[in-house]
Structures are given as structure tokens and as C-alpha cells.
Structure 1
Amino acid sequence: MKKDLWLWGFTDSAETWNGRFAMIGFIAVISIEVITGQGLLYLIGAMS
């Protein structure tokens, strides 16, 4: 199989990218909480 061929579904490549984006999102949420001193749910108004 060609290495640059993109396949849809639950492939190793898709799971790798999913994990990378999840880590970026987690770091972003933690950074927002550290910078503002408030949780993300409080900032978006879900916890008022």
C-alpha cells in the first residue's frame, strides 16, 4: 500500500491525527484555565 494514500475510516493514520488534535485541545483548555484563573465552562457561561 502506498504511504501517501489517504483512507477513510478507523485507520492508524486517522487515529494518530485524532490523538494529536485531542492533545492540542487539552493543552488549549488547560492554558485558558491557567491564564484566566477560571474554568472553560464558566467562561462560556455554562456554569454561572
Structure 2
Amino acid sequence: MADSQSQPTESPKLEDPKFGFNDYAERLNGRAAMVGFVLTLVIEYLTGQGLLSWLGLH
């Protein structure tokens, strides 16, 4: 007796979530960290002070 309900042969392609721990979030976090690091270097170069001195913590 043949099965009247057949299973799909392909899974639907769902979009990756844009929040939580996934590749998109990790890539975005890495890029933000690189921009922050470069901006910190620029601030230190332009002011002649280290980050802690610039923030008033040293």
C-alpha cells in the first residue's frame, strides 16, 4: 500500500536570524571592534595622551 502523504525532498531556505549568536552577529561585532580600535589609535595620536588619560582615569 502506497503512502498517500509523501515527505518533501528539500528543506525550505529560511533567512538566518539577525540576532543572537550567529555568523552575522559575530561579523558585525568584529567590525565594530576594529573600528573602535582604530578610533582609539587616532584619538591617542591626535591628543598625545593615552586612552586612560583621555578618559580621565589615570
TM-score using structure 2 length = 0.68
Match of 2:24 in 1: 13
- The structural deviation recorded for 1:8 is 2.3
Structure 1 stretches (4+) deviating beyond 3 angstroms? none
Matched residue of 1:6: which SS? coil
Larger helix share, 1 or 2: 1
- Check if 1:38 corresponds to 2:49: yes
Percentage of matched positions with identical amino acids: 47
Match of 1:25 in 2: 36
The one-letter amino acid paired with 1:19 is G
* Mean CA deviation greater in 23-32 or 36-45: 36-45
- RCO higher in structure (CA 8 A, sep ≥6): 1
The structure with the larger Rg is 2
TM-score using structure 1 length = 0.80
The one-letter amino acid paired with 1:31 is V
